[in-house]
Every structure is written in structure tokens, then in C-alpha cells.
Structure 1
Amino acid sequence: MNKLHCIEELVDEFKSQRPIRGGSLIITIYGDAISPRGGTVWLGSLIKLLEPLGLNQRLVRTSIFRLTKDGWLTSTQVGRRSFYSLTDTGRRRFESAFRRIYAELYPEWDGKWDMVLTTQLDNELRKVVKKELEWLGFGNIAPSVMAHPMADMNELNGTLQELCVQNDVIHMASELVGSQTSAPLKELVHECWNLEKLSQDYQEFLQRFRPILRAVEAEQELDPEQCFQLRTLLIHHYRRVLLRDPQLPEKLLPADWAGTSARVLCRNIYRLIQKGAEQYLSDTQETADGPLPEPAPRFYTRFGGL
């Protein structure tokens, strides 16, 4: 079983960056690999999993401590072993963030918009709400008016409740009259969302991972450890770009939108390596009851079906 040089290069690139953001990579691994398999893992096996990716024991322990302090994880002691699980809040955060990664491409748009008016908030709270809504993909279309054409109602309502402003903002639904592809509408999108920078980031993702897809397709038997490493870094890179993507309807996006090609590329690589990656997780990761449980059925619905 040969190891692919292009995957070794990808790992070396990640290991050479400074600083290595251990918490961010651990979030990727929990969201992509641990969450669908029960959400709990022994710290010792997690340390061994992360070491080849450049995270030493001290960095892993420090990152886990911070994630626990921030409410993502909780620990259980069994003898001398520590097992870390997702908290209920952490699980909701993961599901909210990672739902975008594996969801279907561009559902049909009905021309409706959600608008949130923050005129009744004080300046400091308005800034906080604006930042959180931008995280959900909303654009600032006018002073104190945030809008999105395909907002996730569960995410929006949950965010407004967490900020305790659900009774202090005005949430309105509007419907577009006329063409969904008019020049003024495209101009508004261009002004309110920085799609040019996002497109450049997607292009960089394509340039980095297209050669890897070709190499993986040409290999008959893939090394399970490399499958896991590639899957982790693939989702880690893709997540960092995608979570800045406002997820606008296809009709509002520029022609030849790079985000579409990036999604297809990520899906194709993921499908080829997921079996080997799951085998490696089963062989190396432990819970208090033994090996990781098998992935939940929803795991196999990722990217429209694995």
C-alpha cells in the first residue's frame, strides 16, 4: 500500500504553518469525524491521532482545555483516563456550522427575502447583532437593515434568542417583484457581499486540491491513515472558506461561480476516501466502552449520499 506524495506534502504544509491553531483543527475533527460516531473520545487516542498532523501533546491538551472552557466540550474521568464529549451547546454549534458543509447545492429560490431591522437597538448591541447575522450570511443592505434571500429560520431564530434581542428587533419577510436576475439586484449583491474575495479563496482551494483528486483517482488502494489526514485537511480548508460564504441563491451569483466547482471537488474527494478514513478511526480511537460506535445513518447522507 503506497503513500501518496501529494498528501504528505499537504500534511507538511499544514505542519509548517505558524501558529498551528490546534483548537480549529480539533473542531474540524470533532465535527467531521467524532460527532457522527457518538461525539465522545478518549483524550489519549485523540492525541495520537493529531500528532502526525503537527499537534504535540501539550498543544492538544491546551486546545481541549480552551474548548471545554468555551462550552464546546465536557470531560468525564474513568480511572486515569479522560474522555471528552460534545456538550449540548457544542453539538448544536457543530450541527449548525457543519450542516452547510454537507448540504445540497443551491435549493430553488422563491424570490423571498428575510430582513432584520435593528434600529431599536443601542449602537454597541447593534454591532454585535450585525456581526452575528453576517456569520449567518446576512448582508447590510441599508443602515440598520440586514437581509438574506435564503435564511435558515432555525439558525436565525436561535441566534436572536441567544442574543436576547428577539423582542427588540423587527423581523420582516419580503417578496421580490420582477426579475430575479435584474441588473439592480445583481449590483446590490455586489455591494453588500464581498464575493470577489470569496471567489479568489475558492480558486485557491481548487488549485490546491484538484491535483490531489487526480492522484487519489489513480490509486487502487489508499492508505487508511492518509485517507483520514486528507479528509481532515480537506474539510478544514473547505470549512474555512465556506463559513464565510453567504450561501446566496444561484441566480444571484456571478456566472461560473467558483464555489460550485469547489463543492463538487470536495464531494468527489470525500466520497473516495471516506471508507478508508472511517477504518482508520475505528482502528485508533477509543471511548470508555471500547472502539468508536459505527457512524450514525445521517453520516451517509453527506454531500447527497456517500
Structure 2
Amino acid sequence: MSNSIQNRLDEFRQQRRVQAASLIISVFGDAILPRGGRIWLGSLIRLLEPLELNERLIRTSVFRLAKDEWLRTETHGRRADYVLTSSGRRRFEEASRHIYASHAPLWDRRWRLILVVGELETKAREQVKRALFWQGFGALGADCFVHPSAELSSVLDALIAEGLADSLGALLPLFAADSRSAQSASDSDLVRRAWDLGALAEAYAAFVAVYQPILTDLQRDNLDEVSEQDAFLLRTVLIHDYRRLLLRDPELPEVLLPADWPGQQARLLCKELYKRLEPLSNRHLDKLLCLADGSVPAEDAAFAERFSQYDPLGS
């Protein structure tokens, strides 16, 4: 196996504290959702144990995800499958549009605003704020949330799915005026106020520094010495690291981003490395991913080559 792959997997294993629930979410979204969104717990344990996540930690993390309504259980005799809930599936499908896209979205030069115009209790206000941040909104003060391209109807549907229907009456969604002129200074100022892009740029640069040597090695040596298991493990860690970056990224259109923005380099790097790992890692999943009844779910053809599927510019 490539030394760079081994080094990355060893670095991951040696982390003082792996957020197992977050890693399991990454695995569900990338590997399990395309195969029906369900898995036998024993199979999940076998897939993740080589990353030195022990059985007890995996069981505890899956139980918490079920408690948070990401997953539900379906029993088959003495075994049980963990299955994505409808809200969990919606979250993953929304995330997929960001993870597997090859370009930042185009901008129609209209800002989407959600204003808090009614009374909200402190807990409800924090829940709304967290849900909007999850969808990439920035904050301008305590009562104004902004995004350049979100579909407001989908945002409200997402709040309802998060159990926040009672808070909608306190919110006012609206569009700012359409501007067809060149980007204005006020746009740049709004971006600076709503998002901390400096810290995010550093995180993207660090991602590139970690994974570019691995891609370079694979371009030189191909995959001849990489096992199916290690291809799956690296694919998992790659998507997990990239997903964690996207959780912090508002996915601003390129016209609103600083020059030489490293996010696009990270996106293309992730795409190229993922596509090289995908065939080997899928063979590993064919062998280890199974359901409680012993059946092996095939990958849904609709998810094949997802990086191309979500590429709005066709590149």
C-alpha cells in the first residue's frame, strides 16, 4: 500500500477522540444510502473496526443517532437493521448535492433573507439558528439570516422536518432586490460580516495538503498495491473530512469568494481521489455490507458516479 495512504489511515486511528457518530453519518451518506439506506449493525461494526472504533463505541453511537431520529431499527429475529428515517434521508440527500457537486452554484444576484419578526423562546431561537446554519445561512445580527442561493420554500420545509413548525410564524422569508450590475461593495461587505472565510480557507488548504500527496502517489503507481479494505477506509476518511468542511461552508457562488479560493481546489481533489478509490471500495462493500436477514443490497444505479450526477457544468 502507498505510504501516503497508510500514513493518513494511521493518523486517523491515532486521533485522541474520534467522533464516532459523525463518522457513522458519513458512512451512511456515502456508502449505505446508495444501497437502500439500511445495514445490519454487525455489518457496520465489521466495516468500521479497522479504523479502531470498538464495538461498544459503535453501538453507543448508533443508539444516539436513533435517539436523535437519524436512524430507526427494524428487527429480524435476533438481529436488527438500522434504517435511515425519512428526515435522516432528507438530510443526507441535501448534503449529497453539496458533497458531490463539482462547482459552486451560480448566483442570480438576489440575497435570500430570513428575519425573526416575532417572539421566540431562547431554546426555539437557538434551534432555528442551528438549523439555518446547517443549511449554510450566515447571520447579520441576532434576527437576520442570509444566503445567496437557498430555495426558501425548501428551507421552511426543512425547518418543519426538524420539528420547528411552531416557530415559522415568527419568521419572515424574503428576497432582496435583484441587481444585474457588477458585484457591489455592499455584497463583499455582507459576506465579510456574515461568514468567517479566513478560517475556512485555512481548513481547505490543510485538506489539500493532506490528500494531494495521496492522489499524486496513486497517479504514479495506480492502485496495484492498495487493498479493497484500505480503498474503502481511505474513501470513508476522505468523505468524512470533506463533509466536515462543507458543514462550515456556506457554498457561496464564486463571484462572492476571495481570489484563489482553495475550496474549489479541495473539491476537485476530492472528486478525483474518490473516483480512483470507488471501484475497489465498492468491491469491499459487496463483501461486507449486509442486512440482518443475510442479504447483500446492491448499489442503486441512480447513485453511480455521483460526482458527475451533481456536476451542474458537466465537467
Q: 1: distance between equivalents of 2:279 and 2:180?
A: 47
Indicate conservation of the 8 Å contact 2:117/2:170, yes or no: no
Partner in structure 2 of residue 293 of structure 1: 297
Cα distance, 1:103–1:153 mapped onto 2, change above 3 Å: farther
Alignment of 1:73-222 (within 5 A): 73-122=71-120, 124=122, 125-153=124-152, 155-161=154-160, 162-164=163-165, 165-177=167-179, 179-220=181-222, 221=224, 222=226
Pairwise CA distance, 1:237: 0.4
Cα deviation digits, residues 175-222 of structure 1 (max 9, x gap): 343534222321221121100000000000000000011112223323
Runs of 4 or more off by more than 4 Å in structure 1? none
Q: 1:231·1:270 contact (CA, 8 Å) conserved in 2?
A: yes
1:121 and 1:272 mapped to 2: Cα distance? 52
The superposition leaves residues 145-187 of structure 1 with CA deviations (integer Å, 9 ceiling, x where unpaired) of 2111111335412233231222321111123435342223212
Name the CA shift for 1:51/1:160 in 2 (closer, same or farther; >3 Å).
Answer: closer
Q: Distance in 1 between matches of 2:5 and 2:305?
A: 26
Relative to structure 1, is the Cα distance of residues 111 and 41 closer, same or farther in structure 2, using a 3 angstrom cutoff? Answer: same
Cα deviation, residue 123, structure 1: 5.6
Q: Which 10-residue stretch deviates more, 129-138 or 48-57?
A: 129-138
| Cα gap change, 1:60 to 1:160, in 2 (>3 Å) | closer
In the superposition, relative to structure 1, how do residues 289 and 126 fare at CA in structure 2: closer, same or farther (>3 Å)? closer
- Find the partner of 2:255 among 242, 251, 255: 251
Give me the TM-score of the superposition, normalised by structure 1.
Answer: 0.93
Shift of 1:273: 0.8
Letter in 1 for 2:138: G
Secondary structure, aligned partner of 2:231: helix
What is the SS of the residue equivalent to 2:217?
A: helix
Match of 2:25 in 1: 27
Q: Which residue among 39, 49, 53 is the counterpart of 2:51?
A: 53
8 Å contact kept, 2:231–2:277: yes
Query: Which structure is higher in RCO with an 8 Å CA cutoff and minimum separation 6?
Result: 2
Cα distance 1:143–1:58, how it changes in 2: closer, same or farther (>3 A)?
Answer: closer
| TM-superposition CA deviations, 1:129-157 (whole Å, max 9, x none) | 23321221112235522111111335412
Q: Distance in 2 between matches of 1:120 and 1:251?
A: 34
User: Secondary structure at the residue paired with 2:53?
Assistant: coil
Counterpart CA distance in 1 for 2:79 and 2:221 is: 39
- Tell me if the contact between 2:20 and 2:58 (Cα under 8 Å) persists in the aligned partners: yes
Q: For residues 260-281 of structure 1, give each alpha carbon's deviation from its aligned partner in whole angstroms, at most 9, with x where no partner exists.
A: 1000000000111111111100
CA distance in 1, matches of 2:73, 2:125: 35
Is contact 2:117–2:143 with CA below 8 Å preserved after alignment? Answer: yes
Greater mean alpha carbon deviation, residues 29-38 or residues 7-16: 7-16
Change beyond 3 A, Cα 1:99–1:292: farther
Deviations 1:235-288 (A, max 9, x none): 000011111100111100001111110000000001111111111000112114
Aligned residue for 1:106, secondary structure, equals coil
How far off is 1:21 after superposition?
Answer: 1.5
Unaligned stretches of 5+ residues in structure 2: 311-315
Q: Secondary structure of 2:140's partner? A: strand
**Matched residues in 1 for 2:159 and 2:81: separation?**
33
Q: Distance in 2 between matches of 1:154 and 1:232?
A: 32
How far 1:305 moved relative to its partner?
4.6
Q: For the Cα contact (< 8 Å) 1:180–1:251, is it kept in 2? A: no
Q: Distance in 1 between matches of 2:130 and 2:28?
A: 25
Q: What code does the residue aligned with 1:261 have? A: Q
Once residues 159 and 42 of structure 2 are traced to their aligned partners in structure 1, the CA distance between those partners, rounded to angstroms, is 38
- 1:119 is displaced (CA, Å) by 2.5
Query: Partner residue of 2:272?
Result: 268
Q: 1:23, 1:103 → 2: CA distance?
A: 24
Deviates more, 1:294-303 or 1:209-218: 294-303
SS at match of 1:147: strand
The farther-off stretch of 162-171 and 273-282 is 162-171
Aligned residues: 304
Normalising by structure 2, what TM-score? Answer: 0.90
Question: The residue matched to 2:170 in structure 1 has which SS?
Answer: coil
- Per the alignment, do residues 212 and 50 of structure 1 end up closer, same or farther by CA in structure 2, a change over 3 Å counting? same
